[in-house]
Amino acid sequence: MTITTRLTPLFVALAATMPFHAQADDDKPEGFVEGASLDVLARNYYMSRNQLLPGVRDNREWGQGFIGKFESGFTQGTVGFGLDAYAMLGLKLDGGGGTAGSSILPINSPSKDGYDYGKAPDEFSSAGASVKVRAFDTVLRAGDLFLTNPVIAGGETRMLPQTFRGVSLTNTSIDNLMLEGGQASFTKPYNQSGHRRIDTFYGSLPDHRESRHLNWAGGVWTPVDGLSTSVYAAELKDIWNQYYVNLDYTWQLNELVSLNPGVNYYHTQDTGNALLGDIDNNTYSLHFTVNVGYHAVTAVYQRVNGNTPFDYINQGDSVYLDNSQIYSDFNGPNERSWKLKYAYDFAGVGIPGLTTAVSYSKGELDLSKADADSSGYGHWYSEDGKNAQHWERDFDLAYAFQEGQLKDLSVRLRWASHRGSQGYSHVDNDIDEYRVIVDYPVNIF
């Protein structure tokens, strides 16, 4: 079945929200050339993982990335056409065979034990484009896409971003409501040049079988200031159906104090040929933040109900859970976790652009209840994991220059320390991780 055929009902449903009137002259698209822009981001990235388990090698890599994005405007007329394109280049500055595998550079020929990676190449690159069509308040894109939503979001936490190949449709006809949908079949991982079939982060397919594509549809509604809600549904063919609901509210008590409660909920159920086995997983997180001036304190409770972990698209950022941390997602089978976080904006002491955050997370789970016979998640089972526990401490310090020749250049330091009990150590390693990220965005036109 073709992509167009499978998505026709979705396109029809979203197009039904379009206004059926001629477009006024002052609403015409701005023009293919007149509305075009070209931006380049230079990103310098250092990442070090000190592995604390015996026999596991440390990972240290340093690279320089360049990400160029061209976005055209739309041609004149009721139906406008445009083109978006990107090009990326990653250069290795440091990272030998003995310390490769941090995830910011390509991995060459891992050893049988999975810990000794071959030497990363000196450079890697990719390029792609998508055509776009706009009619009234609906935009259709086909080609290489940057996607960001709770069920399919490209990873942005490494030197180069992740992209997807497929089609997407977005509609904004109704005030304060954004509807979208689409299909993606391939992904370009953030540390590779080529594309591969879309897959999952935690699941292990038993053989060479693979999912053919992911379909998704959803929307975000912001009915009043401070309140937002979103609903999404996705089908990863022959693996799962996944549903997401979110509610977030910021209550401004006065100019100084605000309260921010929120909830994120996912339900994942196996579908089709169930290549990763039986899945019946309900995962949610609750957060409550108190903002007082330049200070913010957040408390989080997260729960996974099911004998499989909460899973999502490989290398993606589509894990909209409050306890997804720098290293661990705290998403194991039947896991309960808590987090306490403090953030401060140094604008309060006259240093605008400088921010920091510290947090502590702890999780408890019984890995002996994981399904040892699961074709995709059986590796989570541990006879010794009845009282498995782990914790993570995170520290984040960032500064963005506010003026002068370095305006918009940002420097970010990230540190994570993760430890687990003996029953948990086969899932996530005991590590101390350090990242230094320098971003310099340049607008060409």
CA distance 244 to 230: 8
Tell me: pLDDT of 3 over 70: no
The proportion of the chain whose per-residue pLDDT surpasses 70, expressed as a percent, equals 91
Per-residue pLDDT tens digits for 293-345? 999 999 999 999 999 999 999 999 999 999 999 999 999 999 999 999 999 99
* Lookup result for tokens 């899932």: 427
Per-residue pLDDT tens digits for 80-122? 999 999 999 999 999 866 788 889 999 875 555 555 566 788 9
Contact 343, 357 (CB under 8 A): yes
What the chain holds in terms of domains, given with CATH numbers, is 3-443 (2.40.160.10)
Per-residue pLDDT tens digits for 164-212? 999 999 999 999 999 999 999 999 999 999 999 999 999 988 777 889 9
pLDDT at 429: 87
Instruction: Look at the pTM and tell me if it is higher than 0.85.
Output: yes
